Amino acid sequence: MTSPSGTLTVAFQGNPGSYGEIAALNAVPHTGQTLGCPTFHEVMQAVERGDADYGVLPVENSLMGAIHQAVDLLSDTELHVIGEVVVRVSHCLMALPGVALGDIKKVASQQPALDQCTVLIREHGWQPLARHDTAGSAKDLAERGARDEAAIASRRAAELYGLNILQSEIEDEKFNFTRFMILSRHGLEASAAPRNTPYKTSVVFAVRHTPGFLLETLSELRGLNLSRIESRPRKDRAWSYLIYIDIDGDAQEPQIAQALAGVLLKASYMKIIGSYPAAQGTVG
């Protein structure tokens, strides 16, 4: 919640030092504190209850694709997406002070992080240990004091938990970024954000299970640049799907507004998740 000094609280999933916390620290101006939550759902609940002013959810990674657990929550919530943050994911190998590379037998991290560092892990023959999140693996290592174990997490995690960085930028592919959406109880209009920067509009919709009807609905968006399109199974109906799309541009632009009106006429369900300033550059 907003502190008396006017600073803001941003909720994220994970422990301090996670890439989610890095996104939270960079989500909005005047972020004063962050609130770590065990799950994506609890991030949204924290914002809905007013325990946090904003929340961040990771929706896709440049190497691993969509983060479906987070994406699936966007169609259910009444929260608004008011922005995005792109975090550069740069993994570090860290251990307790005094531990050398040759002492390590096991390495712990979140499974996606382990999958992104397979070259180093296989080169040394380390046993990978899957943990709930990257920073949590660093925190756990510092608390247990295991001297035959390392963790893979961010540089910030090493600093927070007093671990030494043995190697940095250990990910197999350097083009590794995670996109986070910023969630708020209030629509963007309430924040008086300037609309003179590039925008994105995120939409979810469903169509009748009729041959050709999806293509017909998508044809309403011709002439627009779709930067993301994917389908996700509906929870309330077998073999029926929700279609998520990101459109480059502002929903208030006449061409986009007209296109969305056309989709609404054809869709059995449609929701504008948010129309918001696109991220300019990366953080982390």
Catalytic residue selected from 77, 134, 178, 201:
178
State residue 70 phi and psi, 5-degree precision.
-80, -45
Q: Where are the beta strands (DSSP E) in 63-168?
A: 65-66, 80-88, 92-95, 106-110, 127-131, 149-153, 164-168
Nearest-5° Cα angle at 12, 233 to 182? 70
Contact assessment for residue 189 and residue 80, using Cβ atoms and an 8 Å cutoff = no
Distance (Å, rounded) from C-alpha 46 to C-alpha 39?
11
Phi, psi angles (nearest 5°) of residue 211:
-55, 130
Tokens 């600073």 belong to: 7
Number of H helices, E strands in the chain: 10, 15
- The CA angle 211-217-218, to the nearest 5 degrees, is 110
Query: What is the spatial distance between Cα 125 and Cα 128, in angstroms, rounded to a whole number?
Result: 9
Answer yes or no: 180 catalytic. yes
Catalytic residue among 12, 40, 180, 205: 180
151 Cβ neighbours under 8 A, 6+ residues apart = 93, 94, 95, 107, 108, 109, 134, 137, 138, 140, 141, 157, 163
Which residues have a catalytic role annotated? 178, 180
